[in-house]
Structure 1
């Protein structure tokens, strides 16, 4: 079982193709994950991507773009272990893993909300994507 296990969901009122396109561009990855080196393991087009990751962590990562109503649920998964040493002793390792999982979850959620603001571009609640 990996020591880092991040699971997140964010709804964006835009078609999944637009959301998936944001993650399909490798030039964006360093801004999302500056200390990770993702390598595409499976490109699922508008459904998203799966990566293997190296760098500060070693494991797998995924974005899944699920169509839902008038938009997309962006699912994010990161399951990995540290590439380097962690604090010694079971309680210290457990605290480190919880803190690192929380830090990575918060960082991705900040990116997801920024993406939501940018792609929805001021869309009012209750207005379908593409309508004024």
Structure 2
């Protein structure tokens, strides 16, 4: 099990292809995860993307898009270890705070995408095809 382990999900009422395009925009990654270096391991198009993570954390991150109703559930996973910390010293870190920080970053990412893609859409209204 990883020391940093985040799993979260958010529903976005938009076409999964549009959601995938937002998440695949590499210029946004630095905004969402400013201290992490991400390398695409697998671009799954409308199903999401998987990265190798380096920087202060080493491991993997994934956004998986599960079509649902008139949109998709965005599943966010992060499995990492602190970089440069001996395994016997990891217990000395504030892992709860580190996990919370990464969970909040993932939620900010999904809410930013949700806000952009659902802009102007009234509750119960069908998703817009394009902006």
Q: Distance in 1 between matches of 2:127 and 2:90?
A: 51
Moved over 2 A (4+): 84-90
Q: Distance in 1 between matches of 2:30 and 2:128?
A: 30
- Alignment CA distance shift 1:130-1:31 (3 Å): same
Q: Distance in 2 between matches of 1:27 and 1:61?
A: 17
Give 5+ residue unaligned stretches, structure 2.
none
Q: Counterpart of 1:13?
A: 13
Q: Counterpart of 2:32?
A: 32
Residues matched between the structures, number: 128
Q: Distance in 2 between matches of 1:36 and 1:73?
A: 24
Match status 1:44 vs 2:57: no
Give 5+ residue unaligned stretches, structure 1.
none
Relative to the length of structure 1, the TM-score reads 0.89
Superposed CA RMSD: 1.8
> SS of the counterpart of 2:127?
coil
Relative to the length of structure 2, the TM-score reads 0.90
